[in-house]
């Protein structure tokens, strides 16, 4: 399932910057193909990130059978990545998502 995230004012939508944040939070090999950054780490069998129309798009596939501590670590890293890449905290992203749904 593809998720879209807005960037906070002042946060660059440059895929190279997003890639640096990705590499910082996930110690795994990040591959670049067709403008998409992909990796495999922890509970993610595949995580793809790209920028489209001023939004960061994320497509993730979870691996089956990951241990609870691996899942918790992966989720924590993902939340930190989203905040550092977009500038929005989890609470702000939730409020923004609710507002976007009400406006649609």
Task: Flag whether pLDDT at 104 surpasses 70.
Answer: no
Place of tokens 């403008």: 35
Average pLDDT, the chain: 95
pLDDT tens per residue across span 15-49:
999 999 999 999 999 999 999 999 999 999 999 99
| H or E, element range at 84 | helix 68-86
pLDDT tens per residue across span 46-93:
999 999 999 999 999 999 899 999 999 999 999 999 999 999 999 999
What distances in angstroms separate CA 76 from CA 12, 69, 79, 82, one per listed residue?
Answer: 23, 11, 5, 10
Spatial separation of the C-alpha atoms in residues 59 and 98, rounded to whole Å: 20
State the Rg of the chain over Cα: 14
pLDDT of residue 77: 98
CB atoms within 10 A of CB 55: 15
pTM (predicted TM-score): 0.93
């Amino acid at each position: 399932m593809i998720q879209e995230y807005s960037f906070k004012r002042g946060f660059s939508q440059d895929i190279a910057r997003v890639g640096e944040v990705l590499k910082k939070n996930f110690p795994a090999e990040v591959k670049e193909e067709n403008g998409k950054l992909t990796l495999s780490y922890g509970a993610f069998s595949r995580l793809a990130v790209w920028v489209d129309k001023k939004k960061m798009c994320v497509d993730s596939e979870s691996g089956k059978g990951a241990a609870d501590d691996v899942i918790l670590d992966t989720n924590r890293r993902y939340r930190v990545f989203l905040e550092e890449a977009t500038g929005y905290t989890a609470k702000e992203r939730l409020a923004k998502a609710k507002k976007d749904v009400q406006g649609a």
